[in-house]
Amino acid sequence: MAEHNDLGNKGEELAIEHLRGLGYKILATNWRCQKDEIDIIALDENILVIAEVKTRTSNYFGEPESFVDRNKQKFLVRAANEYIRLNHFKGETRFDIVSIVISEGKQPRLHHLKDAFYPY
């Protein structure tokens, strides 16, 4: 497996651990709908959380969350709508980003942005 895949997998594991620590119930990971993918789908009490995980080795080119651009948001919203439809979810939905920097020899730095963006 490529190094960037290993980094991404490690970031997703850290994000899941973080969300579980907050009491979230993880419903799905790496949920796919055609070419779109949602990293983590969880429940925060009764709110459906669609979480995008961005992991980098540094923030030299910007914080990881800054790479969730409008195009990526559009794909996440499209996939979330399909998940909601297929699972007959009738409640509030929130889009979060879990931003992680994993630098060699340092503790990972995790930043959880609740309500990171709103569907448009």
Query: Domains in the chain and their CATH numbers?
Result: 3-117 (3.40.1350.10)
Asked if the model's pLDDT at residue 80 lies above 90, the reply is yes
Q: With contact defined as beta carbons under 8 Å apart, do 84 and 94 qualify? A: no
- SS3 (DSSP) at 11: helix
Could you tell me the two tokens for 6? 């290993």
Model confidence, pTM: 0.91
What proportions of the chain, in percent to the nearest 5, are helix, strand and coil?
35, 40, 30
120, pLDDT greater than 80: no
* 43 residue type, one letter: L
